[in-house]
Amino acid sequence: MDTDRLTGTVKDVAGKVEGGIGEMTGDKSTQASGRAREASGVVQNLYGQAKDAAREAGDAAVDYAKDTFGGSADTLRDGTQALTKRVQDNPVGALLVAGGIGFLLAMLMRPSSRPQPQRWRY
Q: Are both 64 and 77 inside the same structural domain?
A: no
State yes or no: pLDDT of 34 exceeds 80. Answer: yes
pLDDT score recorded for residue 72:
67
Report pLDDT digits (tens) over 13-26: 988 998 889 888 88
Could you list the residue range(s) of the whole structural domain that residue 61 is in?
1-70
Q: Are both 7 and 54 inside the same structural domain?
A: yes
Q: Tell which residue, 33, 5, 39, has the closest CA to residue 19.
A: 33
pLDDT above 70: percentage of residues in the chain: 90
Q: What's the whole-number average pLDDT of the chain?
A: 82
Q: Tell which residue, 47, 39, 51, has the closest CA to residue 12.
A: 39
State yes or no: pLDDT of 116 exceeds 80. Answer: no
| 75 vs 37: which has the higher pLDDT | 37
Q: Are 15 and 34 in contact (CB under 8 A)?
A: yes
Least confident of 16-25, 45-54, 108-117: 108-117
Domain assignment present for residue 30? The answer is yes
Residue 67 CA to residue 85 CA, distance in Å, equals: 29
pLDDT score recorded for residue 88:
83
Q: Are both 48 and 105 inside the same structural domain?
A: no
State yes or no: pLDDT of 27 exceeds 80. Answer: yes
- When pLDDT is averaged across residues 38-57 and rounded to a whole number, the result is 84
φ, ψ of residue 120 in degrees (nearest 5): -80, 135
Q: Are both 42 and 84 inside the same structural domain?
A: no
Q: Are both 65 and 96 inside the same structural domain?
A: no
Give the end-to-end CA distance of the chain in Å, rounded to a whole number. Answer: 74
